[in-house]
Each structure stands twice: as C-alpha cells, then as structure tokens.
C-alpha cells in the first residue's frame, strides 16, 4: 500500500573537470583533482544515461553489486570523500585567496537539473539546468541524489526484505536531515533568485519526513504480517500520517520561497496521508467492533470514506491503488452495517461524537556521518 514517487532520484548534471579549473601546486593535489573528475564522470554517465557499458562490466566495476541503484550509490560514496576534502581546503579565510578560489569555482560551471520544479514536469525540450557557483551546491545536490537513489533501493528490496527496506529508508532520511541541518543552511543566503527546490534546506526536511513516513509504513506492514492487534496497527498507520502532515505544513511554507516547486510533491504526500488515514481508521473500526462498539465503528468508517473520496488521484498506478483501498474499506463498512441492522441496532454517531485518531511515531532517521579523504591539498595562490 505504498505510492511511488521517483522524482527525487531523477537529477541530471553537466560535466565538470576539476583539474581544468583549480591550479594545483603539487602532483598530489593534481592527482586528487583528476580522481575527483573521474569519480564524478562515473556519476554523470549513469544519471545522464550516457554510459554504454554492459551489465556484467558494471557489476564488476562496483565490486559485484547487481542492483543499478546500489551501483550508483557506490559511485557516489567513492566521490563524496574526495569532494569533502576539496571543500575543506578551498574554504579559506584570506580575502585574496577566497576571491581566487571563487573564480576557480566559477570556472567549474556547476550545473544540475531539478526533478522537483514545475518546469521539470512540463519541459519537453529536455531538463532545465541551474548553475550555482558554489562547492556547497555541488555537495548538496550530490547528497540529495544519493538519498533519492537510496529511496529507490528501499522500494526495490521491499518485496523481499521488509527490515532491510526500513533501514534504507531511515538511512535516506538521515542524509536528508544532514542536508537540512548542516550542508544547505550556509548556502541559503548565497542562492540566486532562480534556484532548484533541491537547494532549499526546507525541501530536504520535507524529504526526510517522507522517508520516515515510508519507513514507518514498511514497519507497519511487518506488524500486519505478524498479526499485531488492530488497535496498535491503527496507531502505527496514523503515525505515518503524522510525519506526512508535518511535511505538508512545511511544503506550504516553501511555496512562498520557491514558486517553481512542483505541486506533484504535495499530491504525493496528500494521497499517501489519505491512504494511511483510511487504513488506520479501518483498523480502529475493527478494534471498536471487537469491543462491542459497532455503531461507533460504522461512524468512523463513514467519516473517513467521505473524506478520502473528496479527491482521487488522476493517474495510474496511484488511482488504482487508491480506489482498491476505498473498495476494501467500503466492503468492511457494508458488512458492519448489515450486522448492525439485523443484530445490534446501535445508533451511528458522527462528527464530534467520534473518537479522534491516535498515532505513534516509532521510527527515527539513521544519522549520516560524512567521510573525508584526508589528503593535504595545495594550490597556486
């Protein structure tokens, strides 16, 4: 019962050659810059779909990893420590050196597309690229890409390993949290008016909350398989909605800062929230019926079905999944109403007479610890 929103992993970028932009003073620094360019090219070729190597060679180059997502994550993990090290040695305090470093960084022409902007959904001429001349932008977009691919990997293993899927969602949440708290805040004052939504710290906070909601959704599925009580399952599903409600609230704030952010992200969060609200209330209704409160159970189901039917996804596969859940809950309601009409004759409460949903958030992000390749770099400044 999970909707799929693949956009955060669909970033693209333009070529960067570090050794052409930065003037190395010694062979060690030059080697580091060339290695940076090489590692980044591997990422460029993959996400830009410009690589023509076979699956067998790709597997061998990644140390035996078969999943395309795992291979891409491996490439990013090889690139990031080198980038972190460069960032450390270019973050100078001297005014003259800082001006020179800034000029070299401009020469890199750091350009990334956006997968969350409105233009990314309606630009038929290819992706629009945003150039921001700051290594922090490069670091931020690379980490955003990594977290997005981790989300896809979590969905890939969902059908075979629920525990592993939950862990990967939590890892992705940790990277987004690191972006929102550490990497992107210093970049915010330096952003131009035209910027990708991915460069905003608040967007990474939204994505972190989405990953936590997805992690709890998978945990809830595991609890369902174990035969956990209906009352607890209701709280777990409503815990998912709590994460998403917080994310939706932040989204409405982000729209005031970035008009170009796609409403598709909001629709994804809204329909996910509705699905888990429906499932949570269905479990609550079953729990109430077990406690002899079939009238209240019917009221709960009538209320939630009215709410979730107000807006239906227009595209597949979201539409079919959403309608199937509505049909399941409607069938439960039909059975309850039939039983009440012929056996119990209980009054059906509504509005304020109904119990409020209670949610438990039981997952947290796995903190991300950046790795840096400790190598002293020296430049001709």
DSSP class of residue 130 equals: E
pLDDT of residue 91: 82
pLDDT-derived band of residue 334, with 50, 70 and 90 as boundaries? very high
pLDDT of residue 352: 95
Query: Do residues 119 and 98 touch, judged by C-beta distance below 8 A?
Result: no
d(CA 355, CA 349): 10
The Cβ of residue 339 has, within 10 Å, a number of other Cβ atoms equal to 14
Query: Do residues 178 and 139 touch, judged by C-beta distance below 8 A?
Result: no
pLDDT-derived band of residue 305, with 50, 70 and 90 as boundaries? very high
Beta pairing class for 129-131 and 111-113: antiparallel
* pLDDT tens column, 159-174: 999 999 999 999 999 9
* pLDDT tens column, 200-248: 999 999 999 999 999 999 999 999 999 999 999 999 999 999 999 999 9
pLDDT-derived band of residue 123, with 50, 70 and 90 as boundaries? low
* pLDDT tens column, 27-67: 999 999 999 999 999 999 999 987 767 666 666 676 778 89
pLDDT of residue 34: 98
* pLDDT tens column, 103-118: 999 999 999 999 999 8
* pLDDT tens column, 272-298: 999 999 999 999 999 999 999 999 999
Please enumerate, as own/partner, the contacts of 268-272 that have beta carbons within 8 Å and a separation of 24 or more. 268/3, 268/5, 268/210, 269/206, 269/210, 269/244, 270/311, 271/3, 271/311, 271/313, 271/318, 271/322, 272/2, 272/3, 272/213, 272/240, 272/244
pLDDT of residue 16: 97
pLDDT of residue 119: 74
pLDDT of residue 348: 97
DSSP class of residue 261 equals: B
Query: Do residues 332 and 288 touch, judged by C-beta distance below 8 A?
Result: no
pLDDT-derived band of residue 121, with 50, 70 and 90 as boundaries? low
**Helix, strand, or coil (residue 129):** strand
* pLDDT tens column, 173-202: 999 999 999 999 999 999 999 999 999 999
3-state helix, strand, coil in the chain (%, to 5): 65, 5, 30
For the chain, give the mean pLDDT: 94
Question: Which residues lie across from 358 on neighbouring strands?
Answer: none
Question: Which residues lie across from 129 on neighbouring strands?
Answer: 113
* pLDDT tens column, 133-169: 999 999 999 999 999 999 999 999 999 999 999 999 9
């Amino acid at each position: 019962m999970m909707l799929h929103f693949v956009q955060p992993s669909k970033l693209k970028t333009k070529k960067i050659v570090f050794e052409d932009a930065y003037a190395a003073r010694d062979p060690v620094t030059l080697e580091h810059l060339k290695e940076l360019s090489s590692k980044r090219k591997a990422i460029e070729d993959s996400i830009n779909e410009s690589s023509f190597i076979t699956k067998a060679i790709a597997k061998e180059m990644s140390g035996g990893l078969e999943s395309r997502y795992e291979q891409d994550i491996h490439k990013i993990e090889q690139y990031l420590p080198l980038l972190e090290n460069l960032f450390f040695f270019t973050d100078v305090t001297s005014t003259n050196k800082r001006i020179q470093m800034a000029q070299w960084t401009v020469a890199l022409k750091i350009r990334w597309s956006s997968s969350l902007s409105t233009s990314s959904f309606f630009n038929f001429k290819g992706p629009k690229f945003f150039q921001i001349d700051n290594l922090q932008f490069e670091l931020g977009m690379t980490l955003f890409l990594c977290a997005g691919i981790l989300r896809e990997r979590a969905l890939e293993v969902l059908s075979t390993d629920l525990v592993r899927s939950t862990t990967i969602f939590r890892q992705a949440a940790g990277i987004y949290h690191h972006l929102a708290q550490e990497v992107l805040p210093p970049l915010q004052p330096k952003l131009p008016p035209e910027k990708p939504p991915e460069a905003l710290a608040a967007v990474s906070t939204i994505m972190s909350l989405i990953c936590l909601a997805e992690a709890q959704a998978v945990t809830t599925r595991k609890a369902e398989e174990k035969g956990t009580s209906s009352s607890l399952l209701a709280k777990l599903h409503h815990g998912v909605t709590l994460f998403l409600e917080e994310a939706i609230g932040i989204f409405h704030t982000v729209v005031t800062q970035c008009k170009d952010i796609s409403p598709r992200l909001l629709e994804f969060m809204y329909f996910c929230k509705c699905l888990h609200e429906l499932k949570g209330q269905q479990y609550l209704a079953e729990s109430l019926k077990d406690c002899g409160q079939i009238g209240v159970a019917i009221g709960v189901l009538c209320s939630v079905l009215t709410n979730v039917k107000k807006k239906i996804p227009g595209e597949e596969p979201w539409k079919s999944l959403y309608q199937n859940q509505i049909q399941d809950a409607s069938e439960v309601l039909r059975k309850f109403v039939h039983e009440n009409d012929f056996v119990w004759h209980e009054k059906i409460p509504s509005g304020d007479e109904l119990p409020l949903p209670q949610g438990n958030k039981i997952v947290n992000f796995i903190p991300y610890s950046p790795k840096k390749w400790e190598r002293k770099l020296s430049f001709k400044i």
